[in-house]
Every structure is written in C-alpha cells, then in structure tokens.
Structure 1
Amino acid sequence: MDRLEGSKQQTPLELAYLGGLKTIWANHVFSPIAKLSTFKEGRKDIERAILMDPKNPELRFIRLSIQKNAPSFLGYKSNIAEDRRFIQANWGAFSPDVPMADVKALLD
C-alpha cells in the first residue's frame, strides 16, 4: 500500500487498485468508525480513478468487484449493472495482464 500511496502522480489504474485495497483493508480494521472511514476513502479513490479514465474496463472491473461484494448497508452498489454492461461491451479492450477468467467469473 505504501508504494501506491507514495507515488506523487498516480495513474488512474494505481489509484483504483489503491482504492480497492483500502475497501478490502477496511475488513481488517478494528474500530467501526475507522472501518467506515477506510472504506469511504477507498471508494473515493476508485470513483476518482474512473473520472480520470472512464473508458478503462479494468477500472470498471475493480469497481464492480468491490460493489458486488460490499455489504448493502454501505450503499455502494449503484453501478453494478452499468459496469457489467460496460465490461461486456469492451471485452477486447482489457490489458493482457488482466486474468480474464476472473473477469468472466465476476460477470456470471
């Protein structure tokens, strides 16, 4: 996490992965207030990354995976259908580094 946070100019992809890491890390934070704060910080990073590069399907994949697995009470589920459609429409635009079996599994 330090490497992602430490870079002065983060790419949208770095920012999205940092946001995803923070949302997952929130599960391991002890204080309920800190859990929520950490999750919200990660959510903000993901959304900012998508604003910076809205046509990147990998960013949408990150957001979709977080939203599908986030508890409902956090209110972070509003882009699931949109991201699913976007990913399906832009299937061929993924980087070769992305494990497409994981993307397919998320869409099923």
Structure 2
Amino acid sequence: MPPLTASDKKQLRSIGHKLHPIVTLGDKGLSEGVAQELERALEDHELIKVKVNAGDPGERRELIDALCEGAGAELVQAIGKIALLYRPAKKPDPRLSNLLRPL
C-alpha cells in the first residue's frame, strides 16, 4: 500500500469525522481478541475509529503504532484517545465500506 498523500488524508478525515469508534483498546492492551476485531473491522469498513484508553500520551501513541503495524493499516489522524485508521479492503463491500456507502 503506497503512503497516503496529504490530500488523501484530508479526504479520509472528512469521512472519518462522522464515524464512531468501532474498536476500544482497554487497560489490557492489544489482546488476541482486539486484534481479530480490528482485522474484521478494517476488512469490512476500511476506515475506522479506534479508542485507546491509555492515560499516558506516549503509551497511547505506542499502542496506536503497534495497532497500525500489526494490522497493516495507516494512521490518518490521532486526536486525544481516538485514532483514525485506514486500510483498503481486499474485496470492498459497498454495503459496509465507509468509503463506498453514503453516510
């Protein structure tokens, strides 16, 4: 996947603004169940919000980076405890994709 350009990120942020967090990362960090749910959500929706409940901003950023690396996703934006992740689906479903369906 080629890196996103600034205009790509701007467009994804405008779509992501209306979304609600689908995956929540709790105190236990990145567990197997969270990784599976993240994988499913990215494959279905392509663009998702993730809530990271970590108190320390440095720790939060490390968790977000680990999520992106593990799922092969790209970080579009991170504000506070919310991260917007993007990964194109192998076979996008127009009924589920946040990029293909009107919100």
TM-score greater than 0.5 by the shorter chain = no
TM category, shorter: 0.3 to 0.5
User: Which has the greater radius of gyration?
Assistant: 1
TM-score (norm 1): 0.32
Larger helix fraction of residues: 1
Higher RCO (C-alpha under 8 Å, 6+ residues apart): 2
